[in-house]
Amino acid sequence: MDIVSKCEKNFLDWENKRNQRNKELYRRVICECLGMTGESVFIGHHISFGPDGQCQQEIPSADTLMFDHNFIKRLFGEKAADALVKLALVDVDKRDQLLADLLGAR
Protein backbone atom coordinates (compact mmCIF):
# COMPACT_ATOMS: atom_id res chain seq x y z
CA MET A 1 0.00 0.00 0.00
CA ASP A 2 1.36 3.44 -0.97
CA ILE A 3 0.48 5.66 2.00
CA VAL A 4 2.21 8.76 0.59
CA SER A 5 -0.05 8.88 -2.46
CA LYS A 6 -3.14 8.61 -0.24
CA CYS A 7 -2.16 11.73 1.72
CA GLU A 8 -2.80 15.26 0.51
CA LYS A 9 0.92 15.91 0.70
CA ASN A 10 4.19 14.16 1.33
CA PHE A 11 4.70 15.36 4.89
CA LEU A 12 8.44 14.64 5.05
CA ASP A 13 9.17 16.49 1.81
CA TRP A 14 6.76 19.30 2.71
CA GLU A 15 8.34 19.87 6.14
CA ASN A 16 11.86 19.92 4.67
CA LYS A 17 10.83 22.52 2.10
CA ARG A 18 8.99 24.54 4.76
CA ASN A 19 12.07 24.59 6.98
CA GLN A 20 14.29 25.78 4.14
CA ARG A 21 11.78 28.42 3.02
CA ASN A 22 11.51 29.84 6.55
CA LYS A 23 14.99 29.21 7.94
CA GLU A 24 15.71 32.88 8.62
CA LEU A 25 12.48 33.21 10.62
CA TYR A 26 13.34 30.18 12.76
CA ARG A 27 16.91 31.42 13.24
CA ARG A 28 15.53 34.78 14.36
CA VAL A 29 13.29 33.13 16.97
CA ILE A 30 16.07 30.93 18.37
CA CYS A 31 18.64 33.74 18.40
CA GLU A 32 16.29 36.24 20.02
CA CYS A 33 15.08 33.84 22.69
CA LEU A 34 18.43 32.31 23.55
CA GLY A 35 20.84 35.15 22.79
CA MET A 36 22.64 33.17 20.11
CA THR A 37 24.09 34.13 16.75
CA GLY A 38 22.73 32.88 13.43
CA GLU A 39 25.83 30.79 12.80
CA SER A 40 24.85 28.68 15.82
CA VAL A 41 21.46 27.65 14.39
CA PHE A 42 21.15 24.94 11.73
CA ILE A 43 17.95 24.36 9.80
CA GLY A 44 17.52 21.00 8.14
CA HIS A 45 14.74 18.52 8.68
CA HIS A 46 14.98 19.56 12.34
CA ILE A 47 16.04 22.86 13.90
CA SER A 48 19.36 22.37 15.70
CA PHE A 49 21.45 24.79 17.71
CA GLY A 50 24.40 25.10 20.04
CA PRO A 51 27.44 27.26 20.71
CA ASP A 52 30.41 27.39 18.35
CA GLY A 53 28.70 25.33 15.67
CA GLN A 54 28.18 22.37 17.99
CA CYS A 55 24.67 20.88 17.95
CA GLN A 56 23.54 20.59 21.56
CA GLN A 57 19.79 20.92 21.15
CA GLU A 58 17.30 19.98 18.48
CA ILE A 59 13.68 20.94 17.94
CA PRO A 60 11.85 18.36 15.80
CA SER A 61 9.61 20.74 13.84
CA ALA A 62 8.71 24.35 13.18
CA ASP A 63 5.40 23.88 14.94
CA THR A 64 7.13 22.51 18.02
CA LEU A 65 9.15 25.75 18.07
CA MET A 66 6.10 27.96 17.50
CA PHE A 67 3.98 26.32 20.17
CA ASP A 68 6.67 26.04 22.84
CA HIS A 69 5.35 28.22 25.64
CA ASN A 70 8.81 29.24 26.86
CA PHE A 71 9.84 30.56 23.45
CA ILE A 72 6.52 32.28 22.81
CA LYS A 73 6.53 33.92 26.25
CA ARG A 74 10.04 35.25 25.60
CA LEU A 75 8.93 36.66 22.26
CA PHE A 76 5.52 38.08 23.19
CA GLY A 77 5.48 38.46 26.97
CA GLU A 78 1.95 39.05 28.25
CA LYS A 79 0.57 38.67 24.72
CA ALA A 80 1.90 35.11 24.41
CA ALA A 81 -1.51 33.46 24.82
CA ASP A 82 -2.98 35.66 22.09
CA ALA A 83 -0.11 34.74 19.77
CA LEU A 84 -0.59 31.02 20.47
CA VAL A 85 -4.31 31.22 19.71
CA LYS A 86 -3.75 33.13 16.48
CA LEU A 87 -1.11 30.64 15.35
CA ALA A 88 -3.34 27.68 16.19
CA LEU A 89 -6.30 29.06 14.28
CA VAL A 90 -4.57 29.36 10.90
CA ASP A 91 -3.73 26.56 8.53
CA VAL A 92 -0.14 25.37 8.72
CA ASP A 93 0.53 26.81 5.24
CA LYS A 94 -0.06 30.31 6.63
CA ARG A 95 1.48 29.90 10.08
CA ASP A 96 5.06 30.93 9.26
CA GLN A 97 3.97 34.20 7.66
CA LEU A 98 1.66 34.91 10.59
CA LEU A 99 4.53 34.38 13.05
CA ALA A 100 6.70 36.76 11.03
CA ASP A 101 3.87 39.32 11.00
CA LEU A 102 3.33 38.98 14.75
CA LEU A 103 7.04 39.46 15.41
CA GLY A 104 7.07 42.56 13.23
CA ALA A 105 4.05 44.05 15.01
CA ARG A 106 5.52 43.89 18.52
Residue 46 pLDDT greater than 80, yes or no: yes
Specify the pLDDT at position 6: 78
* Model confidence, pTM: 0.87
With cut-offs at 50, 70 and 90, classify the pLDDT of residue 4. low
pLDDT digits (tens, 9 = 90+) for 16-26: 999 999 999 99
3-state secondary structure of 30: helix
More confident residue, 39 or 105: 105
Specify the pLDDT at position 12: 85
Q: What is the 3-state secondary structure (H, E, C) of 35-104?
A: CCCHHHEEECCCEEECHHHCCCEEECCHHHHHCCHHHHHHHHHHHHHHHHHHHHHCCHHHHHHHHHHHHH
pLDDT digits (tens, 9 = 90+) for 52-75: 778 889 999 999 999 999 999 999
Specify the pLDDT at position 7: 80
Specify the pLDDT at position 33: 95
With cut-offs at 50, 70 and 90, classify the pLDDT of residue 1. low
